[in-house]
Amino acid sequence: MNPAPLPAPAPGTPGPDTAPPAELELRLGPIAHGGHTVARTAEGRVVFVRHGLPGELVRVRLTEAGPEARFWRGDVVGVLEADPQRRAEHVWALADPLLTWARGEAPVGGAEFGHAELPAQRALKAAVVAEQLSRLAGLETVVEVEPMPGEDPLGRGWRTRVHFAVDAAGRIGMHPHRSAAVVPVDRFPLVLPAVDELRLAELDLTGAERVDVAAPADGSTPLVHLSLAPGADRDRLRRELARLTARREVSVTARAEDERQAQAWAGRPAVVEHAGPHRWEVSAEGFWQIHRAAPELLHRAVPDAAGAGPGEHALDLYAGAGLFTAAFADAVGEAGSVVAVEGSPVTSADARRTFADRPQVRVERGSVDKVLARLWPQAAAPSRGRRPSRGRSASRDRGASRPDVVVLDPPRAGAGRTVVDQLVALAPRRIAYLACDPATLARDLGRFRRAGWHVRSVRAFDMYPNTHHVETLAVLEP
Ligand SMILES: C[S@@+](CC[C@H](N)C(=O)[O-])C[C@H]1O[C@@H](n2cnc3c(N)ncnc32)[C@H](O)[C@@H]1O
């Protein structure tokens, strides 16, 4: 279950031609994007160290290293001088490298900040967001990472979604950082108790490649979805899952890669989610925000930041099941319109079902750049430096009015150059850009700024406690 073994450990100082040592003593430098601190060996080689805090003196076990490597990676396995914000006890023993490496095993990923108190985690995330904005967007701003409403003091019990790998013995597990190995997991403190209560670790899930669990924050029926390996023994798996459904109310779905639709083995093929007065049915493989408090917080905050008014036209890009579409539809009313663009067939179908009775909402399935190019062809190849006029346009002929405001919530890769250029050409009044990766956000903000846009505000939310991840909301105006 360890990651790739190191070259033979060699004691002594590493030189350019010698094998690296197994362990090093290092003074940790600043935090960097990706969740590690940056340290340097006496020879000046950069080492990306996980599970440490800036300024600490630590013993580091090298996990990726080689005499020719440009930089090395390692985990903290001993703390010689601790930061006062280091916790006495890690939030999750299986993710604590001090414990796991002592028995020769890599820690699981998913709680790489679990050694630090929450305020220290938030300070590290704020530093990363500010640094990315400065370096990639040329934007100097003080960032505060806001705790989520009702946060547990140790940052546990927030995940309503989790996926597990399955090991060779059919047990659920998780991967160590940058490893394909599977570490069996029986309890995961970051999930809602409802997930642990399923006791999936007691089942033999041989034949499943991955197990996704969705447990709505309001305690309604959870859903377990199996991604089946080719040739999986479905009858045996169904019998195994019947042990679970016999002891509690839970839905079960399954799908092999070559099948179009998930099959319901028990209960319903979706979970029911709520935010404000709205209700969604989200399929097993559909997208929904992971933090239990995120839908309630974001479903208004993000469309409000974009600021649509009655009769206006709003665009919800990377819309998922339509978390922001719902508040937009309320704000613009039936005199206005909302176009929600979502690439996943499953998630866009969820959105279509939800908004079937809202005439002002139109759900477009497809890649954002392609849908924008289809609805507003004049934005596909913007002429340099010229903003399109806001008069009657080709888009009107196709039934989509030019957007007044836009929400942009892409996956980690960010929106990218094409979409940014298309939005610049469409020239909405305001864009609210929600991002789970501050580096790609900063890259895209840099492009908007070079096109003459102004970043009006930046907020950041601690939506992934005990991990290095952070959610950032930037509001842009031309
Ligand atoms: C971070 S989620 C946001 C979903 C939604 N805004 C929410 O908060 O629930 C990103 C969504 O973008 C979709 N997506 C990813 N790449 C896409 C693309 N190129 N075009 C359209 N949708 C895409 C994913 O399927 C996912 O639902």
Mean of pLDDT values over 197-219 = 97
Mean of pLDDT values over 165-188 = 96
Distance 364 CA to ligand 1 centre (A): 12
Mean of pLDDT values over 203-214 = 98
**For residue 379, what pLDDT is reported?**
80
Fold for the domain defined by 23-115: OB fold (Dihydrolipoamide Acetyltransferase, E2P) (2.40.50)
The pLDDT tens digits of the residues spanning 403-423 come to 999 999 999 999 999 999 999
Mean of pLDDT values over 114-130 = 98
Extract the annotated binding site for S-adenosyl-L-methionine. 289, 318, 342, 409
Half-sphere exposure of 258 (CA within 13 A, CB side): 4
Identical fold for domains 23-115 and 161-271, yes or no, is: yes
Is the pLDDT confidence value at 387 over 90?
no
Q: ipTM value, please give it.
A: 0.99
Does the Cβ of 343 fall within 6 Å of ligand 1? yes
Structure tokens at 385: 């430096």
Cβ burial 150-175 (10 Å sphere, 16+ → b, else e): ebeebbbbbbbbbebbbbeeebbbbb
Q: Where are the domains of the chain?
A: 23-115, 161-271, 291-477
Q: Which amino acid is at 92?
A: W
**For residue 67, what pLDDT is reported?**
86
Q: Please, are residues 326 and 363 in contact by the beta-carbon 8 Å criterion?
A: no
Is the pLDDT confidence value at 468 over 90?
yes
Residue nearest ligand 1's atom 26 by CA:
320
Is the pLDDT confidence value at 16 over 80?
no
Does the Cβ of 101 fall within 6 Å of ligand 1? no
**For residue 447, what pLDDT is reported?**
98
What is this structure's pTM?
0.92
Distance 410 CA to ligand 1 centre (A): 5
pLDDT band at residue 155 using 50, 70 and 90 as cut-offs: very high
Is the pLDDT confidence value at 11 over 90?
no
**For residue 284, what pLDDT is reported?**
87
CATH architecture under which domain 161-271 falls: Beta Barrel (2.40)
Distance 316 CA to ligand 1 centre (A): 10
Q: Which amino acids are annotated catalytic?
A: 436
Superfamily of domain 291-477: Vaccinia Virus protein VP39 (3.40.50.150)
**For residue 115, what pLDDT is reported?**
98
Q: Please, are residues 93 and 156 in contact by the beta-carbon 8 Å criterion?
A: no
Does the Cβ of 273 fall within 6 Å of ligand 1? no
Tokens 């047990």, residue located: 171
